[in-house]
Amino acid sequence: MKKRKLGKSNLEVSALGLGCMSLSSGYGPATAKDQAIVLIRTAYERGVTFFDTAEAYGPYKNEEVVGEALAPFRDKVAIATKFGFNFDTSGKEIGLNSKPEHIRRYIEEALKRLKTDVIDLVYQHRVDPEVPIEDVAGTVKELISEGKVKHFGLSEAGAKTIRRAHAVQPVTALQSEYSLWWREPEREILPTLEELGIGFVPFSPLGKGFLTGAIDQNTTFADNDFRKLVPRFTEENLKANQSVVKVLGDIAGRKNVTRAQIALAWLLAQRPWIVPIPGTTKLHRLEENLGGADVELTSEDLREIEEALSEIEFQGERYPDYLQKRVGL
């Protein structure tokens, strides 16, 4: 697989990474550990060198699985993980925490779970309004100087926060949602990243599965599937938003590829420093997603997509209110 550099940093990774969250949480029951390890190692065999996890996925279980899966070839891959939450004894998230002492304690524990002596990229998972971003960036800067972390990242942060953090410790990458049906980052975030030389790591590049065409208004979600809480995934909104699936299907049919591959190729075509991290629990979907890195969209294809999308007004917010309040700070 082709490689890309995240912004002006020296962190070079595969053009597509693997988002590992769904193996442990978010989209229903956790995948059996042995099956999760097989999927992660298959991704590596297919050329993936960038793997994304977080303390919140499980919590903690995902980091353990990723660490075990990648241990045999740890020096050939980049692991990205995230800090920034408190959890109760049952594992339920009970609030943000980016205090310096929490970051330090987290890093020491994450290093053990990930079976490594250095983390390639560590993100603040959500901006903590109670902790100045300068303190967060300064703490990660110290961890970098101590050799425990290589690169600093932010997730779902707003442009002002990105600039303030970058002034203390250069930000290597921002991770936020970006796809054909969530293009908000194009307004302010992408220009900011381009100006500062920061890479972009889009999560949910397939619209949480919607852009694949596998979800319609008749789809039901389990109680422990995050999408059950998402306004865009109500029956009414799923029906209203089907037009984008048809557009992708038309182009995919002509090119003899899938909708998912078109959606990923579109993201890769936006900037050379964008590295999407599609996630999956299924080997055949992994193979399909990775094929998106080989799809070439012509200027005519991109123009057709742009024109079609300009006529579509997507229905439904991407987060429920209580989560949307943590975005863009």
Going by their DSSP bridges, the two strands 85-87 and 93-96 should be labelled as antiparallel
d(CA 65, CA 30): 11
Count of positions (residues) in the chain: 329
| Structure tokens given for 160 | 């002002």
Q: 135: burial class by Cβ within 10 Å (0-12, 13-18, 19+)?
A: middle
Any bridge partners for residue 152, and if so which? 122, 171
Q: Assess contact for 87 and 57: CB atoms under 8 A.
A: no
Among 44, 57, 123, 178, which one carries the catalytic annotation?
Answer: 57
Query: Dihedral (C-alpha) 39, 81, 1, 45: value to the nearest 10 degrees?
Result: -30
To 5 degrees, how large is the angle CA 41–CA 26–CA 70? 20
Q: Is 57 a catalytic residue?
A: yes
**Closest to 284 (Cα-Cα) out of 42, 65, 19:** 42
**Alpha carbons 94 and 188: distance in angstroms, whole number:** 30
Q: Do residues 155 and 182 touch, judged by C-beta distance below 8 A?
A: no
Q: d(Cα 83, Cα 124) in Å, to the nearest integer?
A: 5
Instruction: Indicate which residues carry an active-site annotation.
Output: 57
